[in-house]
Amino acid sequence: MWRALAHATRRQVLDLLVESPRTTGQVVAALGLDRHVVMAHLAVLRDAGLVLSERRGRVRMNFLNAVPIQEIHHRWVTPASGPWASALIAVRDGAEALQEGPGTPGLVDDRRISG
Amino acid sequence: MWRALAHATRRQVLDLLVESPRTTGQVVAALGLDRHVVMAHLAVLRDAGLVLSERRGRVRMNFLNAVPIQEIHHRWVTPASGPWASALIAVRDGAEALQEGPGTPGLVDDRRISG
DNA sequence: TCATTACGTAAACTATTGACTACATATAGT
DNA sequence: ACTATATGTAGTCAATAGTTTACGTAATGA
């Protein structure tokens, strides 16, 4: 799934499909890319479980499957407590440097980075 | 950044760093992988802005930077409204099939998939 | 300053991806 | 049955990514 999300074109496809299901041809038209390229990306998305598709007559309708996205939730959001939760909350509160903690350098102090 | 998250080892590194900052050597020891492999992954994470690091004497301390992760949040988690929000809420409510909507097939009806 | 420890750089090699080309199949409508 | 439309499959190729190997640099402490 992460691999599937690693390509900008595939994220674009997801953005199209989250709006409404589309046939492969419609996705091709919307992106203005070669049909085979789009088909390959759709295949990756299907393998990742992010897209469900179904042949209907001579077209194939592609649906978004948001379920796998929940994994992102459960990794970073749901754990109401846990390291990720605090790290993300720290960011939200503009306290990115929190993690360095006491005894950890601020930014410039003495001489930190050798060179 | 997406590319950086696409590799399981790099996600493992992030899981280590979210817990606490570590030196490169500590990450290597924790993962039990070749030092160069870990260094390469750390370089990718640094380029993606997910890890900040700083040389201290003869070690290099690596810190998690959760800021970029917020991008994912703002795209899929936070969006109080918008297509992604409804898709994800549909999932939460166990209504994954919602999207197919009326006029769209259930699962088996007449004959959908030719073969 | 010398040995040890810890990180850095570069080259070589392999595997995986992504894009392109050519050919093939299946359905809708006439 | 025939044609146009829409999708499917296979093969090639360049680019990228990941790993391994070899050599190099810098700091700690005796």
User: Residue B92's domain spans which residues?
Assistant: 69-99
Average pLDDT over residues A59-72: 91
* B contacts of A48 (beta carbons < 8 Å): none
* Closest residue (CA to C1') to nucleotide C18 in the complex: A37
Rounded mean pLDDT of A3-14? 97
Same domain? For B29 and B57 the reply is yes
Quick one: A72 and A60 in the same domain? Answer: no
Which residues in chain A touch residue B113, judged by CB atoms under 8 angstroms apart? 54-55
Q: Is residue B44 part of a domain?
A: yes
Distance CA A105, CA A111 (A): 10
Distance CA B90, CA B92 (A): 5
Could you tell me the pLDDT band of residue B54, with boundaries at 50, 70 and 90?
very high
Q: Output the CA angle B88-A19-B89, nearest 5 degrees.
A: 15
pLDDT over 50 at A62, yes or no: yes
The answer, for A114 touching chain B at a CB cutoff of 8 Å, is yes
Separation in Å: D27 C1' and B30 CA: 23
Contacts across the A-B interface (CB distance below 8 Å): 102
SS (H, E, C) A28-77: HHHHCCCHHHHHHHHHHHHHCCCEEEEEECCEEEEEECCHHHHHHHHHHH
pLDDT at residue A114 tops 90:
no
Please state the rounded mean pLDDT for residues B81-106.
66
pLDDT digits (tens, 9 = 90+) for A10-38: 999 999 999 999 999 999 999 999 999 99
Helix (H, G, I), strand (E, B) or coil at B63: strand
Within a domain: B104: no
Which nucleotide, over all strands, has the C1' atom closest to the CA of B115? C26
Residues B55 and B76 in one domain: no
Number of domains in chain A: 2
d(CA A104, CA A98): 10
Is residue B109 in some structural domain? no
| Residue A100 in this model has a pLDDT that exceeds 50 | yes
**Last residue of one domain, picked from the residues A39, A65, A91:** A65
Footprint of strand C, using CB within 7 A?
A 3, 6-7, 9, 33-34, 36-37, 40-41, 44, 57-58; B 23-26, 28, 35-36, 39, 55, 58-60, 114-115
Tell me if B80 is assigned to some domain.
yes
Say if CB B96 and CB A67 are below 8 A apart: yes
Residues B51 and B83 in one domain: no
Residue recorded with tokens 């440097």: A97
Q: How confident is the model at residue A105, as a pLDDT?
A: 41
* B79 falls within a domain: yes
**Is A19 within the bounds of a domain?**
yes
Average pLDDT taken over every residue of chain B: 82
In a domain, B86, yes or no: yes
Domain-embedded: residue B8: yes
A78 Cα to chain B: minimum distance (Å): 11
Same domain, A35 and A58: yes
For residues A52 and A16, state if they share a domain: yes
Beta carbons of B62 and B23 less than 8 angstroms apart: yes
**Whether B91 contacts chain A with CB within 8 A:** yes
Q: Stretch B3-26: mean pLDDT, rounded?
A: 96
How confident is the model at residue B52, as a pLDDT? 97
Could you tell me if A59 and A77 lie in one domain?
no
Least confident of A27-31, A41-45, B108-112: B108-112
- Whether residues B18 and A72 touch (CB distance < 8 A) is answered with no
Confidence (pLDDT) at B73: 77
